[in-house]
Amino acid sequence: MLKLLLTIGGGIAMGLTPDPFRLWWLAWIGVVPLWVSLTKVKPLTGFGLGFSWGMAYHGMALFWITGVHPMTWLGVSWWHSLTIATVVWLIITLFGALLSGLWAGGMAWAGLQGWHKIICACALFSSLEVVWSWTPLYWTALGYTQSPDNLIILQISKLAGQQTVTAAIMAVNGLIGEAVLSKGIARKMYIYTCLGLVAIMGSYGLWSMYIDRAGDLTPIRAGIIQGNIANPVKLRPEGIQTAIDNYYQGYLQLAQSGAELILTPEVAIPLRYSPDHPSFALFRSAVQTYGVPLWLGAFGNLNPDRPDYTNSLFLLAKQEPTTPQYNKVRLVPVGEYIPFREIVGGLIRRLSPLRGEVVAGANDQIIDSPWGRLIMGICYESAYPQHFRYQAEAGGQLILTASNNAHYAESMPAQHHAQDVARAVETDRWAVRATNTGYSGIVDPKGRTIWRSSINTYEVHQETVYLRTSKTLYVQWGDWLTPLLDLISLAIVIKLRLLPSAPI
């Protein structure tokens, strides 16, 4: 029972690292109670301890999901709305808890100690997070706990992406855990190694923060319009008209004050895009008059003959003979499509606000613009590092993201901003992010927030950002650290568990 309580306490500590608490430093000790509790336990017990730790961590960090309730404005009853919010929160929490349960169970099975245990723990947790990132339910990786407050350490993500930070957090927790379990010289060695590792990461982070060998290239005056259209009215005729008015006036203000690029949020105009539609013709006319390109969020379609639609950003530009379009790739389960449609589709349709499903865009979209090649993301995609890495490796020079965020608790847009900060650091790019109700922002390649909007306010802002062509080690090689740790760990396990008599 004591082990379980200590483990849950560690999970709670980890849950305090992101917004709204922002106690990022707890991540470096939050796994220690679980680490110590895994000493001499059976794999099933280890799984239970890890699962409990994960329930505490992910449950706290993701509690903002329940803020989607009530959805009565979508025609969903109050009780059905509460059911949807609770079930979604529990499913995502259980998904994360399964990951930490498998990790703890695997470590208990391996029965390793000391340095071997630390290396294998880093490899296994990083590998499980990589597999997790292939699913549609990914957000609370260990690495995200350090953004946006611990920018010094966040710089190590330039080496091998977010998994670098995850592995570092696990290594420090493991070294502290082994120090707790050891005595004498061994304890001192773990402590000194831990301090040395932190010093090396801190030194690299400081060097990376304040020495820029790549340099900024072409400056661009980027404009952002935060329309502040509340979700309960967004889809009604009066809400649509308010959105048209707010974004049109915002465009005129920015275009007349020198902006060279203007970005609107996800589905800023909640209509299916058509160049002949009066609402979109209004924006096209303004672009022709002022010549300032506009990224306009709206619904699109891949197949005009089907009722499905895309969540898209459309580039309206004076010199463009066609309208380039970026379609969201990473869709929100239940919010934008029905998962496991064949099995539970009927039930979800009765509970879900969906009346039509969103179709995902292609994974290999490359967006060229009058300013050069761009890195694009819509809302949920901010949690997926590989989505941004692919576009940066293909030559993307500036990150543009658009989100809504209006239907969640305030901690969600703050965590969303933190995700974009991490993506800017990993790719060494400036990031421009427009949201409906906040937080919109401008982030530099070091992760420093140059400007961030208020929450639930209408705002129009412009800032100078820069195109960059540098490529971090992560952009060039991807996550090379996890496979390397896996190979070393495999050799350790084979030697100790399968070939105990073989020379090392």
Indicate which residues carry an active-site annotation. 266, 328, 379
Instruction: Give the C-alpha separation, 126 to 122, whole Å.
Output: 6
The counts of H helices and E strands in the chain are 17, 12
User: Among positive and negative, which fits the CA dihedral 334, 337, 338, 339?
Assistant: negative
Consecutive H or E run containing 451: strand 449-452
Yes or no: say if 376 and 391 are a contact pair by the CB < 8 Å rule: yes
Question: Strands 399-403 and 441-443: what pairing?
Answer: unpaired
Q: Which of 112, 75, 37, 16 is nearest to 491 (CA)?
A: 112
Reported residue count of the chain is 504
DSSP state letter for 332: P
| Beta strand extents in 301-398 (DSSP E only) | 310-316, 325-327, 367-369, 372-378
Instruction: Give the angle subtended at the CA of 46 by the CAs of 43 and 50, to the nearest 5°.
Output: 140
Tokens in use for 158?
């330039």
Q: Which of 96, 5, 115, 84 is nearest to 49 (CA)?
A: 5
Instruction: Give the C-alpha separation, 214 to 318, whole Å.
Output: 32
Instruction: Give the C-alpha separation, 101 to 56, whole Å.
Output: 12
Q: Within 10 A of 151 (CB to CB), how many other CB atoms are there? A: 18
Instruction: Give the C-alpha separation, 413 to 218, whole Å.
Output: 29
Yes or no: say if 470 and 426 are a contact pair by the CB < 8 Å rule: no
